[in-house]
Amino acid sequence: MTKFIAMTAFAAVLACVPMHSAAAPFYTPNHIVTVRGDRGGVMLKYALRVKKLERRGSLVRIGGRCDSACTLYLGMPTKQVCLLPGATFRFHMPYGSTKRNNQIAADFMMRNYPGWVRSWINSKGGLTRGLKTMGYGYAVKHVKPCENKKKKLPRTNLVMARQLGR
């Protein structure tokens, strides 16, 4: 019970702090995190993970399905997020706690999504128990696609690279 009270209090404090600030951290493209097929989970854990990655200056590449709390990655500075082809986002009203705490979690999420995500959710009736799926085609209008990081080899090295399995 004490752990639950502590997590609830921490969630209330975290709800008052925006996920990103005007002073974005220095972008370090050497640290890349790829998120794929993420079903979501405890919103508080995701909020802390997102904040840590944001402060670290990580690039988060999102591919495949990103459900529930995973969608908090969309609240990171735009230079730190990119989409792999086929990325989809599924939104719903948080659940698993009291009605009040679920509403606090929903308010936190909505406050930390960028305006285009909030507008999309509101156009679909807001956060409800049902899943609302945002496809890649819509999301990529607002989040840059990930660059192909494969290095182009000089033509003379291409045959050797194929033989080495690169």
- Would you state the pLDDT for residue 156? 32
- Would you state the pLDDT for residue 11? 47
**72-85 pLDDT, tens per residue?**
999 999 999 999 99
**92-113 pLDDT, tens per residue?**
999 888 899 999 999 999 999 9
Q: Which two tokens stand for residue 84?
A: 């792999």
Q: Which two tokens stand for residue 5?
A: 């009270």
- Would you state the pLDDT for residue 149? 61
- Would you state the pLDDT for residue 31? 84
Name all domains of the chain by residue range, CATH numbers in brackets.
Answer: 2-164 (3.90.226)
- 79 close to 28: Cβ distance less than 8 angstroms: no
- Would you state the pLDDT for residue 96? 84
- Would you state the pLDDT for residue 148? 73
DSSP-derived pairing of the beta strands 59-67 and 81-83 = parallel
* C-alpha dist (Å) from residue 162 to 5, 21, 79, 94, 154: 57, 45, 33, 48, 12
**114-160 pLDDT, tens per residue?**
999 999 999 999 999 999 999 999 999 999 999 876 544 333 333 33
**8-58 pLDDT, tens per residue?**
444 444 444 444 433 333 444 558 999 999 999 999 999 999 999 999 999
